[in-house]
Structure 1
Amino acid sequence: MTAAAHNGPQGLDDDLVPPLNALQAMAESSRCLYCYDPACVNACPTGIDIPGFIHRINDGNVVGAAKTILSANIMGGTCARVCPTEILCEQACVRNAGEQRPVSIGRLQRFATDALMARGGGHPFARAPGSGKRVAVVGAGPSGLACAHRLSMLGHAVNIFEAKAKPGGLNEYGLAAYKMTGDFAQREVAFILGIGGIDIHYGKRLGDDLQLGALSGDYDAVFLAIGLAAGRPLGVEGSDLAGVMEALSFIEALRQGRAPAVAGRVVVIGGGNTAVDAAIQSHCLGAEDVVMAYRRGIAQMGATTWEQQLARISGVAIKPWLAPKRILGSGGKVTGVVFERTRLVDGRLQGTGTDVELSADLVLSAVGQELREGELAGIPVTEGRIGIDADYQTARPGVFAGGDCVKSGLDLTVQAVEDGKRAALAIDRFIRKGVSHGRSA
């Protein structure tokens, strides 16, 4: 479904794309051609057997379809909701060539995974016999949860250490409510933990309550799934005014039932999916005027074309080629933002010397996140990400990393899940060789 096919979310809790019913799923699954060399599978970072699960739906074996999905991507429910299928599996679908509309892979995936989770009754995957090995996972986001689940399947005991009060990472705290309606993020975590062998400890932040050296000494391996937890500062005058906040903090407040008052004019600075989420939710909360300002052009925006269209049909104005220069205020409260018009000269962004002022009652900064390098006890960082080898191992033996804190592919939930899965397999090989901490098996 394209963004033009609906009018955007009407409220914070409205599903962005409604789920398929059984009749719709049957009809849609019949459109799959079950290609011999399916391009859709190659386009999926987790390598889900897409024709296989769709064929099972068409045969009426919905639980079997879900197991096929979850064996490759244990967070298939979330990814069915938030994955940019329009630039991944659905873009690769051969149906695009003749009918101009791919098979609705994401919606079929949601249909299957939701059906399995609603069924209840035992976890679809079993643990292997206990290995006697223990692994520490730092971070209960998608990568950490995926790693923990796979390690548990392999028979290892896992302790997850999470800085916040709830698990889920960005699924719980950083995605728009209209993408993750209700309590799905927590229901999915409960489903994952249903395999057993995984304990989560909350309020434990690396560098504060946890020390990497101690974890390495206490466990056979450590997996860092710490994400990019620090908001990148705007770095302009007036950033400390009341009414200026990080977009992710704004989204977190909404998701946790602490919605800030939104009225009048909202300016969102940034061009990624987080900026789109914050802008649309501001509009849903009653803002009279919402503008997304981005320092580069439309083609350079991090938000996909689908997300950009969604923003526009939801009433958000997108203004490219504007770089923030200073934030204006009166009495300690934001009143507007001064931008400098920009342009590309020989591929480099340059200011033009022309300023533009936008009035604002609320300014949301969505200019990216950064790694808290002070937490890493000397582990090398390259271009703002933790350095890893082909097995997701850092320069410190026995310490692995994955998700947004590394650069393994696109910064997407589906890639974070794949990182966790692959890292778990590498950790399993590492600890079964008996080399952890120099001990024999």
Structure 2
Amino acid sequence: MTQTKAGPDIAAGRLPEDAYSENFSDLHPLLEQHEAQVEADRCYFCYDAPCMQACPTSIDIPQFIRQISTGNPDGSAKTIFEQNILGGMCARVCPTETLCEEVCVREVAEGKPVKIGQLQRYATDHYMSGHDETPFSRAAASGKKVAVVGAGPAGLSCAHRLAVHGHEVTLFDARDKAGGLNEFGIASYKSVENFAQREVDFVLSIGGIELKTGMRLGDNIDLAELRATFDAVFLSIGLGGVNALNKENESHNGVLNAVDYISDIRQADELSQLPVGRNIVVIGGGMTAVDIAVQKKLLGADDVTIVYRREQDRMNASKFEQELAQTTGVKILTNAQPHALVTENGHISSIELERTVSLADGTLNGTGEILSLPADMVFKAVGQTLVRDDLDATIALEKGRIVVDADRKTSLDDVWAGGDCVLGGEDLTVTAVEDGKIAAESINAALNA
């Protein structure tokens, strides 16, 4: 019987050099012109199309597909950008299989939907390859100034729409470059060739937006100061905290935050230099859990297991993402939760898990059955939390998120918010973009009142 090596086995460069570029190549390569034409011709161009109703940003999907089918990809891209200025990234990362494509008439009738996401990427990539600027012009200067805090999808969307209306926008971000989760928080194979930064440049090309990086709310800027200086403020600060497992030894080496490591992968100059364990355990059931698990497998880990406390059909990760994980060689262990983190010489060596059972009333009970998995690295992907210290004490919160109305306005008259930081916010680029767009229109109306 093979003996398990004692202690952690973590090393860089586990794969041949050429394997990294192959493993992290584009998940959905760009359609060729002929492929796009053939796929566009499958669309029924439905009146009152269910796909359009399922799109959080209400893109006119039949219209943009019709424009592709008639040889007008630039016109198609303009149709997309009118509703979603980050349509290029959304085409890459949105779970279209559970949004527009899930309700496609072709999916319902045949189980094979029109490839809406890939067609959206075809149009937007075509436009951006030939144009450095967005297809919009700024209105006359309004004389109003708006602060947007957080240069992720919601912030970029809001800033662009405000700039179109003629307002001067200062866009603050805590990191050294803009993009938010599009730049730092998604699997590298979903967005290749520096697309996130190219899209940031595209959005900023509208003019009237000043980007200031290295500016963190609660550190070198504060909400009270922004409210005193600007006519309105939009908060898209995301969720800066990470939920804990609340287990002994959690602070020991090898117990890591998945979101931080995903960022390291995204920003790495050489993937071959990243440390990789032999045995990886990921705790969680969402997209972040899948993103870190798949990437660790692609970096050369021998055994990667996602551990989720409930049944697999309860996982937040889409069915496509789950299948991607499994076809990559990642195991999914369900109905199990962390029981204990076992360490040797200050480093994680294994994790003990307790079997669980879901009761009829939805509660989760431990069964007392314990199993153990070897682990050189354990990644926490169990959700993120709002950093409360960043905010004005008077702003209303509920369930650890900022409370907003339908216009994304907070309890403060001159402050709006959107994206993951708001109550009801979803961990999706497309819903963040919609939040930013709605808030911008509300801010514009308020400033013109």
TM-score, normalised to structure 1's length? 0.94
**1:139 and 1:163 in contact (8 A); partners too:** yes
Map of 1:376 onto structure 2: 391
Deviations 1:198-245 (A, max 9, x none): 011111111111110000000000000001111111111111111111
8 Å contact kept, 1:127–1:152: yes
Letter in 2 for 1:420: G
- Worse-matched range after superposition: 357-366 or 9-18: 9-18
Quote how far apart the aligned CAs of 1:11 are: 4.3
Deviation at 1:363, TM superposition (A): 0.8
Instruction: Report the equivalent of 1:116.
Output: 127
Maintained 8 Å contact 1:408/1:419? no
Q: Can you list the C-alpha shifts for 1:322-348, whole angstroms capped at 9, x where unaligned?
A: 111221111111101111111112320
SS state of the match for residue 403, structure 1?
Answer: coil
8 Å contact kept, 1:11–1:284: no
Q: 1:21 aligns with which of 20, 32, 35?
A: 32
Does the aligned pair in 2 maintain the 1:373–1:381 contact within 8 Å? Answer: no
1:364 and 2:375 correspond: no
For 2:305, the equivalent position in structure 1 comes to 291
* Residue type of the alignment partner of 1:160: L
3-state DSSP of counterpart to 1:18: coil
Q: For residues 24-76 of structure 1, what are the alpha-carbon distances to aligned partners after superposition, in whole Å with 9 as ceiling and x for unaligned?
A: 00111011111111000000000000000000011111100000001100000
For 2:142, the aligned partner's letter is: S
Q: How far is 1:407 from its partner? A: 3.0
What SS class does the counterpart of residue 227 from structure 1 fall into? coil
Partner of 2:367 in structure 1?
Answer: 352
Counterpart amino acid of 2:114?
A: V
95-104 or 166-175, which moves further after superposition?
95-104
1:417 aligns to 2:433 (yes or no): yes
Q: What residue is the counterpart of 2:448 in the other structure?
A: 432
Alignment of 1:78-97 (within 5 A): 78-97=89-108
Please show how residues 5-404 of structure 1 align to structure 2 within 5 Å: 11-257=22-268, 260-345=274-359, 346-378=361-393, 379-404=395-420
User: Equivalent residue of 1:33, what SS?
Assistant: coil
Work out the CA distance in 1 between the residues paired with 2:213 and 2:47.
46
Shift in Å at residue 12 of structure 1? 4.8
* Contact 2:133 2:203 (8 Å CA) reproduced: no
- For residues 328 and 17 of structure 1, the distance between their equivalents in structure 2, rounded to whole angstroms, comes to 39
Q: Deviations over 1:98-150 (max 9, x none)?
A: 32211100000000000000002543110010000000000000000000000
Distance 1:40 1:191 in 2: 27
Give 1:263 deviation, angstroms. 3.0
Aligned residue identity for 2:401:
R
Residue matched to 2:15: none
Tell me the residue number matched to 2:4: none
Q: State the alpha-carbon separation in 2 of the partners of residues 369 and 121 from structure 1.
A: 35
CA–CA distance in structure 2, aligned partners of residues 97 and 274 of structure 1: 29
Which segment is superposed worse, 392-401 or 217-226?
392-401
1:408 Cα offset (Å):
4.1
Corresponding residue number in structure 2 for 1:4: none
Indicate the SS of the match to 1:130: coil
Stretch moving more, 285-294 or 116-125: 116-125
Q: Which one is further off, 148-157 or 320-329?
A: 320-329
Structure 1 position 430, deviation (Å): 1.1
Structure 1: distance between partners of 2:22 and 2:357: 36
Seen in structure 2, the aligned counterparts of structure 1 residues 219 and 43 have a Cα distance that, compared at 3 Å, is same
1:5 matched to which residue of 2? none
Q: Distance in 1 between matches of 2:307 and 2:356?
A: 12
Q: What code does the residue aligned with 2:387 have?
A: R
Contact 1:392 1:401 in 2 (8 A): yes
Deviations 1:168-197 (A, max 9, x none): 000000000000112000000000000000
Shift of 1:387: 0.5
The answer to whether the Cα contact below 8 Å between 2:399 and 2:423 also exists between their aligned partners in 1 is no
CA distance in 2, matches of 1:168, 1:208: 20
- Structure 1 residues without counterparts, runs of 5 or longer: 1-8, 434-441
**Judging changes above 3 Å, is the alpha-carbon distance between structure 1 residues 77 and 349 closer, same or farther for their aligned structure 2 residues?**
same
| CA-CA distance at 1:257 after TM superposition | 0.6
Helix, strand or coil for the counterpart of 2:207?
coil
Query: What is the percentage of aligned positions where both structures have the same residue?
Result: 50
Q: Secondary structure at the match of 1:424?
A: helix
Q: What SS does structure 2 have at the residue aligned with 1:178?
A: helix
Secondary structure of 1:92's aligned partner: coil
CA distance in 1, matches of 2:286, 2:370: 23
Contact kept? 1:246, 1:364, Cα under 8 Å = yes
**Structure 2: segments with no counterpart, 5+ residues:** 1-19
Structure 1 residues 350, 122: CA separation in 2 closer, same or farther (over 3 Å shift)? closer
Deviations 1:1-22 (A, max 9, x none): xxxxxxxx98453111111000
